[in-house]
């Protein structure tokens, strides 16, 4: 079980080609603030049919792309 499982499940339920979430939304969904370890955990997202795309530190957003 990953600390980001709730986030991956949330993104999977969206069932959109692209999902854009703010860091605050990620924190609300996952129950923890996004931190540097997210870069390690982002590989897990593929198990849910998505990949982490752009992470914008300026806009404080994360874009998820549905895998074909």
The pTM score is: 0.91
pLDDT at site 1: 81
Average pLDDT per block of 10 residues along the chain, 68 residues long = 94 94 97 94 96 97 96
E-assigned strands of 1-68? 18-22, 50-56, 61-66
Query: What is the Cα–Cα distance from 51 to 54, expressed in whole angstroms?
Result: 10
Domain residue extents for the chain: 5-66
Q: What is the DSSP letter of 42?
A: G
Distance, CA of 56 to CA of 59 (rounded, Å):
5
Strands across the sheet with 61-66, in order? 18-22, 61-66, 50-56
């Amino acid at each position: 079980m990953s600390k980001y499982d709730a986030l991956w499940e949330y993104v999977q339920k969206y069932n959109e080609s692209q999902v854009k979430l703010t860091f605050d939304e990620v924190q609300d969904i996952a129950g923890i603030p996004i931190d540097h370890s997210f870069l390690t955990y982002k590989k897990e997202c593929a198990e849910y049919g998505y990949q982490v795309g752009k992470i914008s530190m300026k806009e404080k957003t994360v874009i998820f792309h549905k895998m074909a």
